Amino acid sequence: MKAGELRDLSNQDLKTRLDELLEEAFNLRFQHVSGQLSSPIRLRQVRRDIARAQTILREQDS
């Protein structure tokens, strides 16, 4: 997800999206540890999306 798409979301929608990303990251880490992860690149993408969402939330709070 691009930063511009995240900036268009409201604060509540952004927090909801962040929660979804955190849950997805947890599931991907679990799959990675158990050896069932089919696409390790997706784990990196989700981590970066989490960082983007957190950065935009901090920008909007200040």
Q: Mean pLDDT of residues grouped by 10 in the chain (62 residues)?
A: 86 95 96 93 96 94 80
pLDDT at 1: 74
Residue 52 DSSP class: H
Question: What is the reported pLDDT for 61?
Answer: 84
pTM of the model: 0.89
Does domain 3-61 fall under CATH 1.10.287.310? My reply is yes
Neighbour tally for 46: CB within 10 Å = 21
* Predicted pLDDT at 31: 95
pLDDT score at 2: 83
Torsion of CA 55, 6, 8, 20, to 10 degrees: -110
Q: Delimit the domains of the chain by residue range.
A: 3-61
